[in-house]
Amino acid sequence: MLEPLDICVMLGGPSGEREVSLQSGAAVADALRSLGHRVSEIDPVDGEFRLSPKTDVVFLALHGMYGEDGAVQARLDALGVPYTGCSEAVSRLAFDKVAAKRACAAQGLATANDCVVDAPGAGLPDGLELPLVLKPVCQGSSSGLECVESAAAWPSGLAKSLEGGGQVLVEERIEGREVTVGIVGGQSLPVVQITPKRGAYDYANKYTAGATEYACPAPFDAEATQRIQHAGELALAAVGGGNCARVDFIVRADGEPVFLEVNTLPGMTETSLLPKAAAATGTGFAELCQWLVELAVEHPPLAATG
């Protein structure tokens, strides 16, 4: 175990996921303090910050824009300060759902048929079969996710998904079981199955208590579990690798995992998916936080990706 360190937990930030990030950061800061580390907290609400010169490592508990898109990582690289998660280049690529999807498809991972739309008045895409799932290309935490079941619902669904600005990824909906696999230090954690009680796993179902059921380890046999974990490792490698990530899939009835996205800064409240998966291996929340700090110090993301 490392000696006590000066750790800055970066939380909050300017994105629409600020409130969730504040929760993640508070939980991480408490856990690291319980281990004897000297912990400070910075909220770069305007995208600006100043680190203490004593800072040994930054624990990134930011979500969404600025946290997951590589912006803060680039600043920390310039300062020469190690940080948790993935490098600037990997974060930027993974945050772009289209770029990440193309990179994973190039490595042989199954993906849904799709197109990209950026015009509010665009018509229903030719060549795609209903129902459709719409996602902003560069947003996190299921923000802006819309499900379109019929042609009549297309205009309103597109308008809502475009509210955050930018492009929207339109995909055919894959029928199956939604899962996620966390990867820490190259090690796949147990698979988590995600089952919303109603509708899709959107922002509301993700953050409303009791709206979604989780099973960890997910109820798959050993062969299917290994297939999902291997797909997660392949997806993370496809975007460039990193110390920590969570990869989401829909698993078809035939057992094939269909890639959804790579999350390079997973939620870190004590009930978030990555901590749930770690807990299934006997790794407590504070121990997980310590593990991520050790990886950041011993294998800085910039060095790991060259």
pLDDT tens digit sequence for 281-306 = 999 999 999 999 999 999 988 654 43
pLDDT tens digit sequence for 150-159 = 999 999 999 9
Spatial distance between the Cα atoms of 246 and 189, rounded to a whole number of angstroms: 10
Domains recognised in the chain with CATH numbers: 6-85+301-305 (3.40.50.20), 93-110+174-283 (3.30.470.20), 114-172 (3.30.1490.20)
**83, 125 contact by CB (below 8 A):** no
Spatial distance between the Cα atoms of 33 and 246, rounded to a whole number of angstroms: 25
- 144 vs 146 pLDDT, higher one: 146
Q: What is the pTM of this model?
A: 0.92
pLDDT at res. 305: 43
**39, 7 contact by CB (below 8 A):** yes
Strand (E) or helix (H) holding 133: strand 132-136
- Sheet containing 57-60: order of strands: 38-42, 6-10, 57-60
Sequence length of the chain is 306
- 250 pairs with which residues across the strands? 178, 258
Please, where are the H alpha helices in the chain? 18-34, 71-79, 88-95, 97-106, 154-161, 203-207, 222-238, 273-279, 285-298, 301-305
pLDDT tens digit sequence for 55-80 = 999 999 999 889 999 999 999 999 99
Which pLDDT band holds residue 51 (cuts at 50, 70, 90)?
very high
Question: Nearest Cα to 190, choosing from 154, 171, 210, 218?
Answer: 218
Mean pLDDT of 250-257: 96
Mean pLDDT of 196-206: 58
**pLDDT above 70: residue 142:** no
For residue 59, count other CB atoms closer than 10 A to its CB: 27
pLDDT at res. 208: 53
Determine if the peptide bond prior to 131 is cis (ω within 30°): yes
Strand (E) or helix (H) holding 214: strand 212-215
pLDDT at res. 278: 97
Residue 11 is encoded by which pair of tokens? 């939380």
Catalytic residues: 17, 141, 207, 246, 248, 261, 263, 267
pLDDT at res. 24: 95
pLDDT tens digit sequence for 86-138 = 999 999 999 999 999 999 999 999 999 999 999 988 999 999 999 999 999 98
Spatial distance between the Cα atoms of 38 and 36, rounded to a whole number of angstroms: 7
- 246 pairs with which residues across the strands? 182, 263
